[in-house]
Amino acid sequence: MAAVAAALVSLLVPAAGAHGAPAPRPGPPRPDVSRPVHSYENAVRESVWVDTGLDGDGDGRTDRVAADVVRPRESGRNGFRVPVIMDASPYYSCCGRGNESQKKTYDEDGAPLGMPLFYDNYFVPRGYAFVAVDLAGTSRSDGCVDVGGRSDVLSAKAVVDWLNGRARAYTTRTGTTRARAHWSTGATGMIGKSWDGTVANGVAATGVEGLKTIVPIGAISSWYDYYFSQGAPLYDSGPDRLAHYVESPEARARCQAVKRTLVEGAPRSGDLTPLWDARDYVPDASRVRASVLAVHGLQDLNVRTGHLGRWWQALAEQGVERRIWLSQVGHVDPFDFRRAEWVRTLHRWFDHYLLGYDNGVEREPMAVVERAPDQWTTDRTWPPAGTAAATLRPVPGAAPGVGGLGLRPAPAGTTETFTDDPSLGELDWAARIDAPTPDKAGFTTRPLTRDLRLSGSATVTVTAVPTTSSAHLTAVLVDLGPAVIRDYAAPGEGITTLPERTCWGASTSGDSACYKETAARTKDVGFTVVSRGWADLGTWADPRRGRPLTPGEPHTITLDLHAADHVVPAGHRLALILAGTDEGLVEGPSSTPTLTLDLARTHARVPFVGGPLAYTLATLPRARDGETAATPAPLLTGPDAPRPPRTLPLLPGAAR
């Protein structure tokens, strides 16, 4: 008993200290990590309904959102309080969470019985509470789903306020009996994948006091950029459809006015409207007080890495303490692609920022990057120190649409032409990069003589003359050469689920801590798409509003490519592809334009580790026997440029 009592004392959480973490109190020496000294089976399991102060459904009373709590039985007794790990989600009843699509379950009295994911099983015995919030309009909550807007964000923020004694909660959905978080220190960490992590970003951007850290996994930073890319539609629907997908049947009946707002405020024209401005968290990065552990799949074609790139840059500009995990998967939780290391990292992260452990996690390398399936590297900063953009310029080659890529501009008046083919996409273009096809223009470097690393967000500026009044553009960076990659376009998006289970925390009869293991699902390829970006050329003059193009007239636009981190190995080539509709990833325009590129006024700004010098050294021609390659060549490719042998992949079709 003495050992348990000492451990309990060591878990007491005092006031906040440096770096957003609680400052330690004098007491018995702490272990290096929090230990499972509390009974999970005997934990308190309760539901409360937090008053959001909003009336989203217009019924004349403020909305209450359901928050299901699992906490150590000792919490709230004799002054013992615990910090909170919180996952606010719209998916707990409609769709499930995690690789096994788990939903919340309740006993016959309506008390929480089973929670999705391992957070409660693992962390409650270690002196944390876990709180799972049903966003407004979902499951057992009042209000309406507004897809990233005030209702989403403020309903979750209200729970953080309640945990800090600033908001009211009740023991039932409609009753008057107050529920107080007397057991909470107020220190809260929000975590979640996809929409859940998006809400964490949004709540952090309110600057709410008590939110000490967030762990957004594959999360959105701007909802406009989820549905559009510089005016080009990425889906054939809007936020109203997503609201319909997750809302409760009761909310579906009472929230028609909110649905109309979502339809009217999000026109399929791709124009930026006030509705989208209210769902962009990046401008409020200056309000973020929480530390950030961001996780993203570099091949996530659902929530693309552009979301991460803009959010990360804004956080960096504000000096927010942050760390990043980048993997080769698609839209996948790190629990399912690097489980043991992820649990260890998350444990130490929460121990530091919520319990105040001085475990050094904030001094570890900022970035963890997957280079090849299950092969990981680290960087002290991200992008790494010395990263700078080089300006790469396309030039014509010996055949139409097959050109070179280097530092020297093409002669004035040089052009390339392609015709949009909505049935083709980036995999088709890359597979035929060296063939003159009418649907794309491709430009490649000579084979590299040394490895070349891209890290960060590239841009591509294009000047094009269309033949019709509407046109979409795609720019793609491709590593041309054989590799083994995670098969992000296949089911599982880079993982295979195995039948064996491993356990992460304590279990009860109603909530197992054991989950199916996974393994990397890999594929041999002849090229790897590194980054891509899309735009409606009609936004060339005003990024907030598209307009009809003038056929026969030049239009210049800069496409923002998605954040990337990739090493192009020696012997491979780097390619820039310019084309129209990227099949399966962006919707086609209303016409089928032919576009003529002005190559002298077209270029890419690509961030390389080592900057332009690294690019120059990697593209120097190979020295012949007895000679040195001291003087850079024109850096163009042509029919006599050497080509490494490579095997083209069987195309799986565009990933969705």
Q: Which of 485, 494, 470, 460 is nearest to 576 (CA)?
A: 460
Active-site residue (options: 141, 194, 248, 455): 194
Distance CA 540, CA 237 (A): 24
| Among the listed residues 87, 355, 71, the one whose alpha carbon sits nearest the alpha carbon of residue 215 | 87
Candidates 561, 371, 405; CA nearest to 483 is: 371
Residue with tokens 């409606």: 536
Count of CA atoms in the C-beta half-sphere (13 A) of 650: 2
**CA separation for the pair 354, 117 (Å, rounded):** 20
How does DSSP classify residue 304?
A: -
DSSP 334-397: GGGTSHHHHHHHHHHHHHHHHH----SGGGS-SEEEEEETTEEEEESSSSPTTEEEEEEEEEEE
**Which of 192, 301, 299, 325 lies closest to 521, judged by CA?**
299
194 is catalytic: yes
| Displacement of CA 593 from its chain's centroid (Å) | 33
Say which of 57, 87, 300, 333 is annotated catalytic: 300
Q: Are 523 and 648 in contact (CB under 8 A)?
A: no
Asked about 512 being catalytic, the answer comes back as no
Phi first, then psi: give them for residue 334, nearest 5 degrees: -60, -20
Residue 271 tokens read as 């124009």
300 part of the active site: yes
Burial 376-396 (b: 16+ CB within 10 A, else e): eeebeebbbeebbbbebbbbb
- Considering the candidates 296, 331, 472, 562, report the single residue annotated as catalytic: 331
- Which residues, at least 6 apart from 591, have a Cβ–Cβ distance to it below 8 Å? 468, 469, 470, 471
- Active site residues per annotation: 194, 300, 331
